Amino acid sequence: MNSTDPVSGYQTYDQPPGAGRSARNQAAARRTALVICTIADIAAGLLGLWIVLYLLDANQANSFVEFVRGTADWLSGWAQDIFTMDTEGLRVVLNCGLPAVIYLLLGHGIAARLNRV
């Protein structure tokens, strides 16, 4: 079936997906998707690291632990005190775990969309 394109620039039905994109545009989209995935993974990793350090009762006076805590507080600032549990460990897991999961879902979802287009 040979369909004609009523508007130039749009993909016709007999073209394979991505046929209209140049190799340069596809490579740029892949690089952008990789950067977005990496940023999302780093953010989620730092939040997860803070959860582990907190649950293992790491030395709060250590400069590395302070850095991880400050970064995790900044990354999860919008989600602080969503959950108010009596158990402090559970509160940290939920209030930092939720942003970590959201960062992963959003980052990888946006990257998948960039690779698909």
Q: Which tens digit of pLDDT belongs to each residue from 11-65? A: 555 555 555 568 788 888 889 999 999 999 999 999 999 999 999 999 999 999 9
| C-alpha to C-alpha distance for 95 and 105, rounded to whole angstroms | 16
Q: Tell me what pLDDT residue 7 has.
A: 47
User: What is the maximum span of the chain, computed from C-alpha positions, in angstroms?
Assistant: 70
Q: Are 39 and 107 in contact (CB under 8 A)?
A: yes
The Cβ-side half-sphere exposure at 67, using a 13 Å CA radius, reads: 3
- The structure's pTM equals 0.74
The residue count of the chain comes to 117
